[in-house]
A = this chain, B = another copy of it.
């Protein structure tokens, strides 16, 4: 008995990626088998290969789409504002965007080493584009005398690392609202870079 429930091409594909996303985030890429993914979707393992050439591509596609959406959303945000305003928007954007996609974020930086060298290079390039957006803000503010940053490259990485820390503890419905979290982090980031 095959094809038990009709024509599913447009439904099965997204469901596979969603299941892979969940399982990769929870157990790690290497620890998840194609059969586990298939079982979550309600299909046999062989059927997955109608939608992905192999397991590696499944991971790669999830990461690439996440990074592209991140850059796209950031692009919508960017305006010609003064550096401090831009930094405040960046902090809020980063926190909100990432908290909405905990699984994607987790994978995008935990599973980098499981990418083939070519795929890794592509994801790294996207990541660097994102970092550059923040560094430009910091650099602009530094030039304008608003910021006092010893090293803009390090400050960029430090700010992102600090903001990423939110993901390790924030749970919606917890002690703090999103607005409060944003406020607290902005307070620290702002003071850290200001002259």
Contacts and interface: CB of A to CB of B under 8 A. Distances in A.
A187 B164 CA distance: 20
Contact of A150 (B160, B164, B168, B187): B187
A3 interface: no
Contacts of A181: 154
Contacts of A28: 28, 30, 113-114
Interface in A101-129: 110, 113-114
Interface string A4-27: 000000000000000000000011
Contact of A158 (B26, B165, B193, B194): B165
B110 A184 contact: no
Query: Which 3 A-B pairs rank lowest in CB-CB distance, beginning with the nearest?
Result: A161-B165, A30-B30, A192-B192
Report which residue of A154, A185, A187 has the largest number of chain B beta carbons within 10 angstroms of its beta carbon: A154
Given A28-B28, A157-B169, 5 more contacts: A27-B113, A30-B30, A150-B187, A151-B176, A189-B192
A169 to B, nearest CB: 6
A187 B184 CA distance: 19
Interface of A: 26-28, 30-31, 110, 113-114, 150-151, 154-155, 157-162, 164-165, 168-169, 176, 181, 183-185, 187-189, 191-194
Main secondary structure of the interface of A (DSSP, over half): helix
Report which residue of A159, A162, A185 has the largest number of chain B beta carbons within 10 angstroms of its beta carbon: A162
A155 B169 CA distance: 12
26 contacts: A26-B113, A27-B30, A27-B113, A30-B31, A31-B114, A110-B110, A150-B183, A150-B188, A151-B176, A154-B169, A154-B176, A154-B181, A154-B184, A155-B188, A158-B162, A158-B185, A158-B188, A159-B162, A160-B165, A161-B161, A161-B165, A162-B165, A188-B193, A189-B192, A191-B192, A191-B193
